[in-house]
Amino acid sequence: MAPATTWTPLLLAGLAAARTCSNLTIPVSISSRQGQFKDVPAESNLDTGAFAQAFTQQGRNYSATLLEGFQTVTGNYSISAKFCYPDYGTGSTIQLLSHGIGFDKTYWDLSYNNYNYSYVEVAVEQGYSTLAIDRFGIGNSSHADPINIVQAQAEIEALNAVTTGLRAGTIPGISSTFEKVVHVGHSFGSVQSYWFSALYPNNTDGLVLTGYSANGSFLPVTVAAWNLHSARLNQPLRFGNSSNVGISTAVGSSDSGDGLIRGVQSLLAGAGIELTDQEVWEEIATTEVGNLITGYNQTGLKPLNYPSGYLVPADLTATQYVFLNPGFFDVGLAVLSEQTKQPVTVGEILTIGNAPKTSSFTGPVLVFTGDKDQPFCGSDCMNTGTDAESIPAETVTQFPRASVFEAYLQPNTGHGLTTHYNATAGYEVIQSWLAANGLGA
Ligand SMILES: *[C@@H]1O[C@H](CO)[C@@H](O)[C@H](O)[C@H]1NC(C)=O
Ligand SMILES: *[C@@H]1O[C@H](CO)[C@@H](O)[C@H](O)[C@H]1NC(C)=O
Ligand SMILES: *[C@@H]1O[C@H](CO)[C@@H](O)[C@H](O)[C@H]1NC(C)=O
Ligand SMILES: *[C@@H]1O[C@H](CO)[C@@H](O)[C@H](O)[C@H]1NC(C)=O
Ligand SMILES: *[C@@H]1O[C@H](CO)[C@@H](O)[C@H](O)[C@H]1NC(C)=O
Ligand SMILES: *[C@@H]1O[C@H](CO)[C@@H](O)[C@H](O)[C@H]1NC(C)=O
Ligand SMILES: *[C@@H]1O[C@H](CO)[C@@H](O)[C@H](O)[C@H]1NC(C)=O
Ligand SMILES: *[C@@H]1O[C@H](CO)[C@@H](O)[C@H](O)[C@H]1NC(C)=O
Ligand SMILES: *[C@@H]1O[C@H](CO)[C@@H](O)[C@H](O)[C@H]1NC(C)=O
Ligand SMILES: *[C@@H]1O[C@H](CO)[C@@H](O)[C@H](O)[C@H]1NC(C)=O
């Protein structure tokens, strides 16, 4: 392990490249040797709560308790992806983006405020092509059994298949081949990118692990704070089945939510309680009532019918605890993220901590984490209790052979980096680091 090179973020010249993007469906054939767990009840919210209790119990390894053996999962699945490149050409380096829990591929390219929070905009401006995938099991990628199929290892095999396809030029809809593939992750997507580098060290050219550290001590607090509920019960109109669309009629067909607000106001007025529009909206947006009606005013919405075993954090207050640094995020974007949130599977939670202890990857590694990250730093990355510089800096122990290792703390930022005001300034730092370490576009 060579000492980290000294580097200064370059002042990036704004090329303001126009970009071209396309939506792709990528077939992958995977074979994954992974855990076979006893069935975990997850029908009701009391079941999912009991699961979280057992998982976070001190001194217990619940994954080990449930493990019955191992099996090889094989199958042909599809990975949904968004491919973007500068109008002047695809270049030789592509960034392969893996989202974290609670999000899908749109995390990297939010259209909110005219793409003001977009990682992809920043990367494409510096000449990179990007491929943002929905991880296997999530979003518009294939869904599958949430306990014994959609586990970390299967998702990593899918990531490997996509990577190999990018190098070989076999991805339908991408006519270029790429010499270099840089793996950029967020949170569980970083865990998987790291894990992938341990299994297939020759299939990556560089790692950027955002919202990450090697310290798993804070995971139980995260899982408890999420207050996990069944996805199909929490947002029945998005994640339930067609029987649920009746909710739309029940809450009224107003096009802005105004009808609902008036309804709540007149109900409460009958009891002598007067709440302003704003007060009612805050109640709706920050509690599970908001989730219950998410999508009710969208015509033609087809609920995805996720099976039980697909879970979600209960509401915006749970999401804020884990992902957001109060005062430094746009509340409108937080509400939107809650409305468009994505589930996590029981199998993912049971396998999240099973990555190999080290990776023999020999290229450059950047860990890029908000200084107030909750899941990977306990909300204070500087408080190491030792003479280590920061908790993310200690991740160097996972990469004994990396040519360069750097840990960068993005100031005033929580775990969900993209949703903070200063996100894109941080994302420019990442592009500069890549260029300074032999991974320019
Ligand atoms: C890709 O899919 C998104 C979401 O459905 C849609 O908004 C967008 O227009 C599509 N983009 C292209 C280039 O087809
Ligand atoms: C928990 O048990 C699983 C399955 O035996 C194992 O892979 C994992 O490393 C254990 N986790 C910890 C933190 O000991
Ligand atoms: C996957 O597809 C390939 C070829 O399309 C086929 O040979 C193989 O049997 C399929 N595998 C599974 C597990 O369905
Ligand atoms: C974009 O973000 C910057 C801060 O990074 C802010 O000053 C600006 O007002 C934002 N623009 C829009 C359209 O939201
Ligand atoms: C995902 O697929 C649904 C239809 O199944 C479509 O409405 C939606 O726009 C797609 N979203 C993305 C981001 O691809
Ligand atoms: C990676 O490449 C090196 C050098 O070419 C080779 O020695 C090593 O066995 C390869 N490792 C794997 C896991 O393929
Ligand atoms: C929807 O799911 C519920 C159980 O959650 C079931 O009782 C009902 O029959 C399902 N409806 C349809 C149309 O599949
Ligand atoms: C209704 O839909 C609009 C846009 O589609 C959205 O901004 C608004 O938040 C929705 N209202 C509710 C109460 O979900
Ligand atoms: C994680 O960080 C905390 C606080 O800095 C520290 O006490 C603990 O030893 C670390 N755990 C691991 C496994 O590194
Ligand atoms: C925004 O992020 C950049 C890059 O990390 C940093 O240099 C700058 O200090 C940040 N600004 C604020 C106000 O936190």
List residues near ligand 8 (CB under 6 A). 256-257, 293-294, 297-298
Give the containing element (helix H, strand E) for 52.
helix 45-56
3-state SS record for 345-379:
EHHHHHHCCCCCCCCCCCCEEEEEEECCCCCCCCC
Q: How far lies 234's CA from each of 173, 182, 239, 268, 316, in Å?
A: 36, 36, 8, 24, 12
Low-confidence ranges of the chain (pLDDT < 70): 1-17, 247-258
What's the pLDDT score for residue 170? Answer: 97
Beta-strand runs (E) in 245-361: 310-312, 344-345
Residue with tokens 């106001």: 265
| Phi, psi dihedrals of residue 330, rounded to the nearest 5° | -85, 115
pLDDT for residue 249: 65
How many A from CA of 296 to the centre of ligand 8?
A: 8
Q: From the CB of 201, is ligand 6 less than 6 Å away?
A: yes
pLDDT value at residue 270:
87
* CB-based pocket (< 6 A), ligand 7: 241-243
Contacts of 242 by beta carbon, 8 Å cutoff, 6+ apart: 302, 303, 305
309 within 8 A of 40, measured Cβ to Cβ: yes
Cα(421) to ligand 10 centroid in Å equals 10
Task: Report the candidate in 58, 245, 96 with the shortest Cα–Cα distance to residue 183.
Answer: 96
pTM: 0.93
**Distance from the CA of 302 to the center of ligand 8, in angstroms?**
16
Minimal CA–CA distance to 297: which of 338, 331, 335, 256?
256
Residue among 11, 381, 408, 422 to mutate when testing ligand 10 (max atoms within 8 A of CB): 422
Q: What residue segments make up the domains of the chain, in order of their start?
A: 3-10+230-347, 19-229+350-436
What pLDDT does residue 16 have? Answer: 53
Cβ–Cβ under 8 Å, residues 420 and 1: no
What pLDDT shows up at residue 17? Answer: 62
pLDDT digit string, tens, across residues 248-294:
666 655 445 567 777 778 888 888 888 888 888 888 899 998 998 88
> Any idea what DSSP says for residue 174?
-
Residue with tokens 């605890």: 321
pLDDT at 12: 43
Cα separation, 219 vs 322, whole angstroms: 10
- Judged by DSSP in three states, 206 sits in strand
Ligand nearest to the CA of 25: 5
The reported pLDDT for the residue numbered 5 is 41
The answer to whether the Cα torsion of 197, 201, 203, 206 is positive or negative is: positive
Q: Which atom of ligand 4 is nearest to the CA of 116?
A: 1
pLDDT at 263: 78
What is the distance in A from the centroid of ligand 10 to the CA of 397? 27
Starting at the earlier edge strand, list the strands of the sheet with 344-345. Answer: 229-230, 310-312, 344-345
**254 alpha carbon – ligand 2 mean position (Å):** 50
Q: Which pLDDT belongs to residue 7?
A: 45
Which residues 6+ apart lie within 8 Å of 272 measured at CB?
A: none
Among 212, 384, 396, 398, the mutation site with the greatest number of ligand 9 atoms within 8 A of its Cβ is 384
Q: For residues 161 and 169, give the distance between their C-alpha atoms in angstroms, rounded to a whole number.
A: 12
Chain-centroid distance, C-alpha 231 = 16
3-state secondary structure string, 113-134?
A: HHHCCCHHHHHHHCCCEEEEEC
Which CATH superfamily, name and number, covers 19-229+350-436? Alpha/Beta hydrolase fold, catalytic domain (3.40.50.1820)
